[in-house]
Amino acid sequence: MKTIDELLSEGVAGRRVFVRADLNVPLDGTTITDDGRIRAVLPTVRALAAAGARVVVASHLGRPKGAPDPAFSLAPAAARLGELLGADVAFATDTVGESATSTVAGLADGQVAVVENLRFNAGETSKDDAERGAFADRLAALADVYVGDGFGAVHRKHASVFDLPARLPHYAGHLIATEVGVLKKLTEDVKRPYVVALGGAKVSDKLAVIDELLDKADRLLIGGGMAYTFLKAKGYEVGKSLLQEDQLPAVREYLERAEKSGVELVLPVDTLVSGEFPDLRTKAPAHPATVAADAIPADQEGLDIGPETRKLYASKLADAATVFWNGPMGVFEHPDYAEGTKAVAQALTDSRGFTVVGGGDSAAAVRTLGFDEQAFGHISTGGGASLEYLEGKTLPGLAALED
């Protein structure tokens, strides 16, 4: 895989460089609530612009239905990119149409443009190779070189991720090179003890990675909504807690495998419960109760790991040489249910090992809860991509960057 460093050594002055970024930021109307993904692509964009390239940045945002939708416009992201760069960033109001063509044609050396949401064109996400290819052809007409730097999208077989690199000289940007380097530390020659903390809502989202990690990790810590399916598999009452009954056979098998293989699979010993889900808009006090993990009342819902579990998980992370964390431990968006996620994040910052926050809600939680991002070894920009890499899957966007 060639990297941007090789491209820069070849010279990019005056060349149109298409940067497939991941500007899929959360929005409250037109206000960006977390600009982490925009900041992540800055090193690549700055390096190219400083070298005199005419930089064309493209991304998706949200899930529009293959047609323009103002709610998913990249205009706020383009404006924020300009603020962070300290330079004007041109914005094309379409992706491959008249505005994009004229905007790119108007770039001078060292200038940057952002084109509108790639998913406003049905060809971006089409499962039909010909339709995707036709869109990739139109994108290729905007550039001379391709730089892949949208790690959060590399697990998607989309036109701008998979098909476009085949049509242009292609290189990995700084972010993708960094992300791949980090993931290799989690899969090749791993320093031990290797501890993985998994949370989030659905156990079904993590089954494949658990299956893979049962042969690689020394400890697995389970939290979040998915923990209640594990507790149910042990025969515990989980009340109104999130439960995926169809996953119980698989979870029981994993519990047995972990015991036989000597992998510590650690479950909550207590949990915070309530009779109703908290109001995440007003953040009104929720007044949860703490109960043992095997004593959840039938009319209550588990919403965070309890204080004893926080201490337990911190102790299981304390001696780790390598840590991967993906998924919050509870409904961290509400202050009454944020302590479990905060405890895991704090344990990572206290660790002397190599710590990786696996993107998605985990990365959002780190920022929301006020942690210094520099206190972690790495904060990934791609939750789904990270998990699929750890599952051993071939990621289309990475495969497309290989020669």
Choice among 360, 382, 383, 397 that is catalytic = 360
Beta bridge partners of residue 19, listed in sequence order: 57, 147
Where does 89-202 have alpha helices with state H?
Answer: 98-105, 129-140, 174-187
Are the C-beta atoms of 152 and 388 separated by less than 8 Å? no
**CA 393, 395, 396, 397: dihedral to nearest 10 degrees?**
180
Q: Mind giving me the DSSP string for 232-249?
A: HHTT---TTS---GGGHH
Active site residue 330: no
Helix, strand, coil percentages, rounded to 5, for the chain: 45, 15, 40
Nearest-CA neighbor of 328 among 312, 313, 308, 350?
Answer: 313
Asked if 85 and 49 touch (Cβ cutoff 8 Å), the reply is: yes
Rounded Cα distance between 119 and 140, Å, is 16
Angle at 360 between CA 357 and CA 361, to 5 degrees: 90
Location of structure tokens 């302590």: 339
- Give dist(CA 65, CA 63) in Å, integer: 6
Name the active-site residue from 185, 202, 252, 311.
202
Rounded to a whole number of angstroms, the distance between the first and last alpha carbons of the chain is 6
Residues 93, 116 contacting (CB under 8 angstroms)? yes
Can 384 be counted among the known catalytic residues?
Answer: yes
- Catalytic residue flag (residue 184): no
Which of the residues 37, 240, 310, 316 is marked catalytic? 37
* DSSP category for residue 333: T
Nearest in space to 363 (alpha carbons), one of 337, 390, 394, 386: 386
- The count of other CB atoms within 10 Å of the CB of residue 309 is 25
Catalytic residue set: 37, 202, 360, 384
